[in-house]
Amino acid sequence: MKEERKLPRYAYNWISAAGAVVAGTALFGVVFLFAITWYLGAENPYLGIVIYLVLPAFMVGGLFLIPTGMYVYWRVWQRTGELPYMKWPHLDLNIQRHRNATFVFVIGAMAFFMVGSVGTYQAYHFTESVTFCGQSCHTVMKPEFTTYQHSPHARVTCAQCHVGPGAGWYAKSKMQGLYQVYAVTANVFPRPIPTPITSLRPARETCEQCHWPQKFYGAMQRRFDHYRYDKENTRWTLDMLLKVGSGNPATAQESGIHWHINPAVTIEYVERDAKRQDIPWVRVTDKRTGRTTVYQDSAKPLAPAQLAAAKPRRMDCMDCHNRPSHNLYPPDYVIDLEMFAGRVDPSIPEIKRATVTAMAKDYPTEKAALEGIARDITEFYKKNYADLYAQKKDAIGKSIQAAQAAFAKNIFPEMKAKWSSYPNDIGHFIFPGCWRCHGGKHKSSEGKIITQNCDACHIILSQGPGPQKEYVSSEKGLPFQHPINISGMEKAIGCFNCHKGVKP
């Protein structure tokens, strides 16, 4: 007796059968792995890629194979003459096989679209997550992911700044991501990752969703604890009042660091280099009066042809806060913090010099760096302070561990990423920063010079070593005193001319 088929003849072929097996296996894998992640309560980047991207692709591919196989065999039967009477497959619900096929298709389509919609939603959120951005390409993104976790924006997701809301920017970011996937796969990505990133959404559409320029007024006190490179690791404290305002509408005051992004003012500039460290041309427009003032670097102005070809950039948050979530701090700075916190013992002679020197060396890998730091610091004290080393071996060991931890958070040899790789434009201690425009060289045609007055941005409230600290006695603040005598050179040159993140 001939066996009655439950589905149309077209469905019985090896291509469709293989598609059904692939789709079913992929669906089972998605459900099973999703249950595991839900039960464990942990988000793994590679497991997420498999659940939301890889397995759904196999499921869709398997489902696509089912009708493909049916079509292929129908065409074969047409050519061989087995189905001479039909030009196209037909549907007759009076036939049991056709009703079964229709039922399977409708129920399957409904289930697929329901699962697919949930899966697509989850895939969208997964590809926007910090886990996906920071850990999927572990080696490439390790510097950014590590520094992000210790930044002021640690509770802001990567996508909120790098993508922002809206389907257009989401699609643009994913298209750019295709090349990044290729670069990682082919191992052709640059080391370190170059900045600035020109494809970022404008700061006015990201930063200003949380930070309100119209409300930037007042001042903020900031304290800096610096340890000198002498035997006693002498601590030098500097208290400053930073004028972070953009202008106070209540008092009609229009001054302060954030005046640069005051809504009533537009500042544009032309840079000479890709990292925006050399700015020879600045234009300031007062929107209320319409007055425009152009300043040029009097020492090295742009040629007329260069200026004609240049496209001025409108200044925004990223022109100063260019490392808001990914700061790589230099050894000199992080060891000061470790010493102030007590993780590096300031009572150990020359511990500042020993730790900074060990951290600042070039190492091929992080493992080699951690081993080298421990070796160099240990040998330094065995050689120069043998008796002290025997007495304070534990304290020196803890200081070594603190230096190793600081290195791992700020220097990444595999990606060639460290403090000197990325200029930080806040302040002017290690990089020109403010001095790119406020160096006293930018002059207008009327002879007006962009101010170089330090008091325009901050005043010194106190400074000095320990009990000998000097305190402010006037509203103007104290004149800056360098921690060591450099014959008044601090009045003529910027800090960044000597300070490079290591011992000057």
Q: Is residue 196 part of a domain?
A: no
Q: Is residue 157 part of a domain?
A: yes
* Domain-terminating residue out of 127, 142, 176: 127
Q: Is residue 154 part of a domain?
A: yes
Q: Is residue 59 part of a domain?
A: yes
Of 375 and 122, more confident: 375
Q: Is residue 178 part of a domain?
A: yes
Q: Is residue 218 part of a domain?
A: yes
Lowest-pLDDT choice from 133-137, 267-271, 297-301: 133-137
Of 2 and 238, more confident: 238
User: Which pLDDT value is given to residue 253?
Assistant: 55
User: Which pLDDT value is given to residue 79?
Assistant: 73
DSSP string, 84-97: TT-SS----TTSHH
Tell me the pTM.
0.79
Residues 112 and 185 in one domain: no
User: Which pLDDT value is given to residue 441?
Assistant: 92
Residues 121 and 56 in one domain: yes
DSSP string, 237-275: EEEEEE---S-BTTTTB--SGGGGG-TTEEEEEE-SSTT
Q: Is residue 31 part of a domain?
A: yes
Interval 454-473 mean pLDDT: 84
Q: Is residue 347 part of a domain?
A: yes
Indicate the pLDDT class of residue 1, thresholds 50, 70 and 90: very low
* Domain-terminating residue out of 421, 444, 469: 421
Q: pLDDT by residue (tens digit) across 402-451?
A: 999 999 999 999 999 999 999 999 989 999 999 999 999 999 999 999 98
Indicate the pLDDT class of residue 293, thresholds 50, 70 and 90: very high
Residues 305 and 335 in one domain: no
Domain count, the chain: 4
Residues 32 and 155 in one domain: no
Residues 299 and 227 in one domain: yes
CB 243 within 8 A of CB 457: yes
Domain that holds residue 339: 331-421
Of 124 and 84, more confident: 124
Indicate the pLDDT class of residue 313, thresholds 50, 70 and 90: very high
Indicate the pLDDT class of residue 310, thresholds 50, 70 and 90: very high
* Domain-terminating residue out of 112, 127, 142: 127
User: Which pLDDT value is given to residue 39?
Assistant: 73
CB 410 within 8 A of CB 419: yes
> How far lies 422's CA from each of 144, 201, 247, 330, 418, in Å?
12, 20, 30, 11, 7
User: Which pLDDT value is given to residue 2?
Assistant: 47
Residues 428 and 490 in one domain: yes
d(CA 266, CA 283): 8
Residues 320 and 431 in one domain: yes
Residues 265 and 306 in one domain: yes
CB 210 within 8 A of CB 465: no
Q: pLDDT by residue (tens digit) across 247-292?
A: 655 555 567 888 888 888 899 999 999 999 999 999 999 888 899 9
Residues 99 and 220 in one domain: no
Neighbouring CB atoms inside 10 A of 196's CB total 16
Instruction: State what percent of residues in the chain have pLDDT above 70.
Output: 89
For residue 458, list its beta bridge partners: 242
For residue 462, list its beta bridge partners: 239, 471
User: Which pLDDT value is given to residue 358?
Assistant: 96
Interval 202-225 mean pLDDT: 81
Q: Residue 222: helix, strand or coil by DSSP?
A: strand
Indicate the pLDDT class of residue 140, thresholds 50, 70 and 90: confident
Lowest-pLDDT choice from 152-166, 377-391, 398-412: 152-166
Residues 175 and 123 in one domain: no
Token pair for residue 81? Answer: 């003459």
CB 185 within 8 A of CB 407: no
Residues 320 and 467 in one domain: yes
Of 83 and 13, more confident: 13
Going by the DSSP 8-state scheme, the letter that residue 364 receives in this structure is S
Residues 142 and 241 in one domain: no
